[in-house]
Amino acid sequence: MPCVMALSLSNPVYPEGEAARIPILRAMFKVLLIEDSLLLQDLVGGILGEVDGIDYRGCVDSEADALLHMEEFQVELVIIDIELRQGSGIGVLAALQAEPERYGSPLKVVLTNYAHARAGNTRGTCTCRVVPAAED
């Protein structure tokens, strides 16, 4: 069963307090996908490329490439896979938390199929979770 992601910018659902962090949607909302699966790169990237109001900035497949990209081109949303070709999504999240002045403070969506694989379900399911911003 393929992983399906639904995006709705007109009626979004956010963790408590997160809606206040969202910039008023302007012409384009810059999004970076951090994913090493070619299937999910095509699927999610294709969806993002078709959504009005989204400026899909492409996909990177490693922690190092993600951090280089975000340092040069800050985005408003990152969609992060936990398991990457090199490094991890956890490392990306840690860097974003530790150095917001360097990488920006984008909203974070985390994708993983880790829990399903550990439970013996290997049918290609995935979990999507919006990570709330840390309290300052």
Q: Which residue has the higher pLDDT, 6 or 106?
A: 106
Res. 28 pLDDT band, cuts 50 70 90? confident
Average pLDDT score over residue span 31-39: 94
What rounded mean pLDDT belongs to the chain? 78
Hey, what are 52's tokens? 């009005």
Reported confidence tier of residue 1, pLDDT bands at 50, 70, 90:
very low
Burial class (CB in 10 A: 0-12, 13-18, 19+), 125: middle
Tell whether the model's pLDDT for residue 8 goes beyond 50.
no
| pLDDT per position as a tens digit, 105-135 | 999 999 876 554 555 554 444 555 555 555 4
* pTM value surpassing 0.75: no
The sheet with strand 107-112 has its strands ordered as 54-60, 29-34, 77-81, 107-112, 127-131
For 45-81, write each residue's pLDDT tens digit: 999 999 988 999 999 999 999 999 999 999 999 999 9
Mean pLDDT, residues 84-96: 96
**What is the average per-residue pLDDT within 30-36?**
96
